[in-house]
Amino acid sequence: MFKRKKKDLTDEEIVKSIVDQKNHDDFGLLYDRYSEKVYHKCISFVKDLDLAQDLAHDVFLKTFLNLSRFNHQSKFSTWLYALTYNFCIDYIRKNSKVRFEEDDELVNIPQNEDDINEKELLQLRSERLAAVLELVPPGDKAILLMKYQDDMSISDIQAAMELAESAVKMRVARARAKALEVYRKTYNDE
């Protein structure tokens, strides 16, 4: 009978092999598949190549140590990206001179206003958008990057952040509103 090569295994099959059969060498397969993406995601948060490399290394160490917690309810890549986002956000919060207030209360933003906010946010010039994302709280930046840069669906974000669908939608809406507020304050004079 034909046996599949290890490189042809799905992420989930590799995780199962590592966790159940203690085939720790198989972790290299996951690393090879995702190291560049994790590294680039870290760069998007810290804007320092060496620091991003250190953070990516730490993300993979944390991933390896927590593989048994992967519950297969989402794709491995979604779980890994959530871990990466959370790790980077935690790093920024711990090392930032500016402290952001994270308000978890769900502000009710009317749907038509949120639709206008999304349209306006998507029309911002990329260099200005990048500057705005550096000025919003890390949690808001992360959810906007998940939604628009990584093109994650609400259900993928929901799985990654372990939140209810309504909470994800509200956080996306709130983050859009905050980003536009920062944009207007920053570029109002032009």
CATH of the domain at 41: 1.10.1740.10
Q: The domain spanning residue 150 has which CATH number?
A: 1.10.10.10
Identify the residue with better confidence: 29 or 47.
29
Total domain count, the chain? 2
| Within a domain: 65 | yes
Flag whether 101 is in a domain: no
| 127/89 same-domain check | no
The mean of the pLDDT values for the chain is 81
Given 62, 95, 128, which residue is the final one in a domain? 95
Nearest-angstrom CA–CA distance, 95 and 89: 10
Cα 166 to Cα 54, 158, 172, 181: the distances in Å are 35, 9, 10, 22
DSSP annotation of 45: H
**Distances 84 to 7, 22, 75, 145 between C-alpha atoms, Å:** 23, 24, 14, 12
Rounded to 10 deg, the angle between the 49-65 and 27-46 helix axes is 140
Residues 116 and 91 in one domain: no
Helical packing angle, 165-187 and 154-161, nearest 10°: 100
SS3 154: helix
Are 138 and 64 contained in the same domain?
Answer: no
What pLDDT does 90 receive?
A: 86
State whether 57 and 119 are in the same domain. Answer: no
Binned at pLDDT 50, 70 and 90, residue 59 comes out as very high
Domain of 175 in residue numbering reads as 111-187
Residues 63/83, Cβ–Cβ less than 8 Å:
yes
118 with 145, same domain: the answer is yes
Alpha-carbon distance 12 to 42, whole Å? Answer: 23
Average pLDDT over residues 108-122: 59
Assigned domain for 180 exists: yes
71: in domain: yes
Considering the domain boundaries, does residue 158 fall inside one?
yes
Q: Which of 16, 51, 48, 15 is nearest to 33 (CA)?
A: 15
